Copies of this chain bind each other. A is one copy, B any other.
Amino acid sequence: MSFATVQDLETPSVLIDLDLMEDNIAVMQGRCDDLGIHYRPHIKTHKIPDIARRQLEAGAAGIACQKVSEAEVFAAAGIRDIQIPYNILGRRKAGRLASLAKEADVTVTVDSKPVIDGIAEAAQATGATVGMMVELVSLGERTGTMPEDALRLARHIQATDNLRFAGVMIYPSNAAIRPRLLETLDLLAGAGIAVEMISGGGSGAIRDAHLLPELTELRVGTCIFWDWNSVAADYASFDQCAMRVRATVISANEPSRVILDSGSKAIHSETIDDQFGYIVEYPAARLRKVNEEHGYVDCSACSRIPSVGEIVHIIPVHTCVVTNLHNQLYGVRGEAIEVIWDVAARGLVW
């Protein structure tokens, strides 16, 4: 290993505090265990098979990922229970999904007949069986269907060769969605359709999970690292945030403005309270603007101003999108670099 300590790293570099990450894995697994449901980590947050392996060793039932190409990376690493909670559309993608389903236990979600039919055609051509859940539209109003349509789609899945009806998916899952879920389950029960899996998800889903006792599993990703969004939503504290972007002050010519070498290419451009990240060493500073390679920090509320060359650490607003920008993450314990991970599933858009 060429890097012994974080002091040897150039910036920007993404550090993962291994103690915090291990705690975060154990806490979410413990909460799901207490509820008697499966924990299915969404790997979009880390995109690294070795981290998924650690989550599975801690008790996770399988993984979720968002793209066929991501699933391929994790299947190649030996992971067998893979859920893709996404409408997969496209002939090549469906073909690759069907091929994958011959070597791993793959479940997808659907919210319309064309999506079902495209996957069925590929599955029939390869002889694979693909598990398929219907997605119930939530208050987030993204993808998904209403209960009557969910029943119609479930019947269609059951009637189609090489598909296996696997249950119902919700994102995000919270107490408010329960009436719609119960209505759907009643319709399915009335039609004699068995529901094996009811999958909830979202960063805050654990909070309401006891109010949705029908859930059989939770898909949560961000909880492995947490981020400023999580802190703002009161899911975690800054002390639990395992990802920090190590940055250098590269310019400090003004009394109240310094510039970091970390911009939208390093910490992304999502904001919270018009800020692009939380600077651990300068909590009163405002990271108020980013260009691709520059972070603009307003230090007017700071008692001390950082100087050129000084190293600071940024807790990002949204950890998942930061992972996707970087080719490596550095797993650290204190100052020691214990592991350098390639972000194996980074940038896989298909």
Contact = CB atoms under 8 A, between A and B. Distances in A.
B250 A115 contact: yes
What's the interface size class on A, roughly?
A: 35 or more
Contacts of A93: 10
A114 interface: yes
Interface string A110-122: 0110110010000
Contacts of A309: 89, 114, 118
B257 A141 contact: yes
A253 B145 contact: yes
Nearest to A320: B292
B253 A112 contact: yes
Interface in A53-109: 66-67, 86-87, 89-90, 92-93
A270 interface: yes
B66 A292 contact: yes
Interface stretch (A29-37, A179-187, A206-214, A260-268): A260-268
A259 interface: yes
A87 B251 contact: yes
A231 interface: no
Given A114-B308, A349-B266, A250 B66 contact: no
A47 B8 CA distance: 27
Interface in A250-291: 250-254, 257, 259, 261, 264-266, 268-270, 291
A350 to B, nearest CB: 5
27 contacts: A10-B350, A11-B350, A13-B349, A44-B292, A87-B251, A89-B250, A89-B309, A90-B248, A111-B253, A112-B252, A115-B308, A142-B251, A142-B259, A142-B296, A143-B250, A143-B259, A146-B253, A149-B253, A265-B349, A268-B269, A292-B320, A292-B324, A324-B325, A325-B325, A325-B347, A326-B349, A346-B347
